[in-house]
């Protein structure tokens, strides 16, 4: 093979082999690219650019589903490779770095730190810290630490600075954190960030460091916050990450937002000066603060911070504070509602949590897709599927046909019923009732639009067994109920004879 083929042509050939003209890797792409390395030395750099574009570093133990599992030690293998070929680090664009907070054996190795120092072109970074399950002896290990906190910089300074250097790369555009306590001083220096996702993570404000930031806020396009992050992180981002008159993150350019909402704070408290600070840490307050600053949202995903009592009634829609500009640009909207029924509850006070109130949805003139998921837990079997429930659910049909229906192309309403083993048969009957009677009687206008072909409307009802006994046990319980019924019938027949 000729050695003088231009690099851009080689890159195109290797990319076609690896991705087949698309963005997702081909099933045999990696194997074919490795084989292509043997064709000629001139192919090696282009092949390495693809082979090491995305890497995962992890130790020989990971935590999945609350259990410690054995895994391949990619950190050691990659470090050994970089030790002999440091230039390979420049090919890495997407890095997932996963460590165990109770095991610092890999972090203390100089070859691991050296490998991290060679990663100078990272665009997407995911930092994960796995906590040991509480029933594990490793949970009580004295070596526990949090990545990027003061203990990390004190015990493993070179490793901490290597990770910090990756975070401050001008190429970095996407950052995902899980189980991380990041000082605000580091966050302030990530100026080119476009996508931020926080999972069980928090940004710790440090006194006297607000003035160390760049000359302009971070212009995010995507922000995803889990329930643990939403409550505290936004208060930090909005108020302590920068000085009171400047914000560390600008939400004007935000296009995708996933954030928790919660019921309003109870105003009856006598905490005086502490009450304002407490209010700013509430999900309802933080979410409203962000929605007011968005001007170009295309996707908005809301979810309840925690399951609320089914008797609670919201006063305003979580969409009420959405900026008027985002109401025009919004294309996709979803809301994951969670509620719990008490032992004496037979109805739900506010099934949509005021999501459809205040005319908030009618102003979404260009909305294409709407997805509402309702999770009902607790004593679900007592719920009565009566005219009141059908009328409450039918509010969706009424509201969507008051200006929204012309733009919508897809509407999905999903109702998940969390069931306990003792009442599973009753909840299954309830599920069937929701799927048939409620669909037929509560949504006449949406069904008509779907029949005419102008709208994809679906109503889904399902049983959520995430916190119940196994399916095998449930089947055994059903068999036991069937046997009891047959025995009762046999007894009745004998009594008649």
- Residue 495 pLDDT exceeds 60: no
Residue 268: the pLDDT is: 41
93: nearest Cα among 35, 166, 162, 156: 166
Instruction: Give 274-284 pLDDT, tens digit per residue.
Output: 444 444 444 45
What H or E segment, with its residue span, contains residue 424?
helix 424-433
**Beta strand extents in 139-251 (DSSP E only):** 174-178, 181-183, 195-199, 202-204, 218-219, 222-225, 249-250
Instruction: Give 224-265 pLDDT, tens digit per residue.
Output: 988 766 555 555 555 544 444 444 677 889 999 998 887 654
- Residue 35 pLDDT exceeds 80: yes
Residue 162: the pLDDT is: 94
Residue 271: the pLDDT is: 40
3-state secondary structure of 332: strand
Q: Which of 1-10, 181-190, 440-449, 463-472 has the lowest mean pLDDT?
A: 463-472
Give the whole-angstrom CA distance, residue 41 versus residue 36: 10
267-305 burial: b if 16+ Cβ within 10 Å, else e: eeeeeeeeeeeebbbbbbbbbbbbbebbebbbbbebbbb
Instruction: Give 116-127 pLDDT, tens digit per residue.
Output: 999 999 999 999
CA neighbours within 13 Å on the CB side: how many for 344? 0
314: nearest Cα among 286, 346, 334, 337: 337
315: nearest Cα among 254, 244, 265, 270: 265
Rg (CA), the chain: 27
Contact 431, 477 (CB under 8 A): no
What H or E segment, with its residue span, contains residue 94?
strand 94-100
Instruction: Give 435-485 pLDDT, tens digit per residue.
Output: 777 888 888 888 888 888 888 999 888 887 654 444 444 444 444 434 444
- Residue 421 pLDDT exceeds 80: no
Domain extents in the chain: 1-51
Contact 145, 152 (CB under 8 A): yes
pTM over 0.85? The answer is no
Tokens of 233: 């992180």
> Are β-strands 410-418 and 332-341 bridged in parallel, bridged antiparallel, or unpaired?
unpaired
Which range scores top for mean pLDDT: 75-89, 421-435, 458-472, 481-495? 75-89
The CA–CA distances, whole Å, from 340 to 102, 264, 355, 463, 467 equal 36, 17, 17, 15, 13
Is the model more confident about 412 or about 282? Answer: 412
Facing residues of 70 across strands?
61
3-state secondary structure of 193: coil
């Amino acid at each position: 093979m000729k050695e003088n083929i231009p690099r851009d042509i080689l890159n195109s050939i290797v990319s076609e082999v690896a991705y087949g003209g698309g963005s997702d890797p081909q099933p045999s792409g990696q194997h074919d690219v490795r084989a292509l390395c043997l064709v000629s030395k001139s192919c090696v750099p282009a092949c390495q650019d693809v082979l090491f574009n995305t890497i995962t570093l992890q130790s020989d133990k990971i935590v999945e589903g609350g259990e410690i599992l054995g895994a391949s030690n990619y950190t050691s293998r990659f470090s050994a490779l970089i030790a002999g070929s440091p230039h390979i680090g420049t090919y890495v664009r997407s890095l997932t770095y996963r460590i165990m907070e109770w095991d610092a054996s890999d972090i203390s190795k100089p070859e691991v730190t050296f490998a991290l120092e060679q990663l100078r072109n990272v665009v997407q970074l995911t930092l994960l810290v796995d906590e040991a399950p509480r029933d594990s002896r490793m949970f009580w290990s004295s070596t526990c630490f949090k990545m990027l906190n003061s203990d990390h910089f004190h015990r493993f300074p070179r490793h901490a600075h290597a990770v910090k250097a990756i975070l401050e790369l001008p190429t970095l555009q996407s950052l995902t954190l899980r189980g991380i306590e990041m000082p605000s001083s580091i966050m302030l220096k990530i100026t080119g960030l476009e996508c931020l996702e926080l999972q069980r993570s928090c940004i710790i404000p440090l006194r006297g460091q607000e003035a160390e930031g760049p000359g302009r806020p971070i212009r995010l396009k995507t922000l995803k916050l889990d329930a643990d992050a939403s409550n505290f992180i936004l208060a930090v981002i909005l108020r302590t990450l920068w000085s009171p008159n400047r914000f560390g993150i600008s939400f004007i350019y935000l296009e995708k937002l996933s954030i928790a909402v919660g019921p309003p704070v109870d105003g009856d408290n006598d905490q005086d000066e502490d009450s304002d600070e407490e209010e700013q840490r509430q999900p309802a307050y933080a979410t409203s603060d962000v929605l007011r600053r968005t001007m170009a949202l295309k996707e908005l995903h809301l979810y309840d911070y925690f399951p609320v009592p089914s008797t609670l009634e919201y006063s305003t829609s979580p969409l009420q504070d959405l900026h008027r500009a985002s109401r025009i640009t919004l294309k996709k909207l979803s809301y994951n509602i969670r509620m719990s029924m008490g032992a004496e509850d037979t109805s739900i006070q506010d099934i949509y949590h005021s999501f459809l109130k205040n005319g908030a949805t009618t102003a979404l003139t260009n909305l294409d897709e709407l997805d509402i998921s309702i999770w009902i837990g607790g004593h679900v079997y007592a719920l009565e599927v009566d005219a009141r429930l059908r009328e409450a659910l039918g509010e969706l049909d009424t509201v969507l046909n008051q200006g929204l229906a012309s733009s919508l192309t897809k509407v999905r309403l999903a109702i998940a019923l969390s069931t306990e083993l003792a009442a599973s048969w009753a909840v299954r009957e309830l599920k069937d009732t929701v799927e048939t009677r409620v669909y037929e009687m509560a949504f006449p206008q949406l069904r008509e639009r779907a029949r005419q072909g102008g709208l994809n409307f679906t109503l889904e009802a399902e049983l959520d067994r995430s916190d119940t006994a196994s399916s095998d046990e449930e089947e055994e319980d059903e068999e036991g109920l069937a046997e009891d019924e047959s025995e009762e019938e046999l007894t009745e027949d004998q009594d008649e004879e």
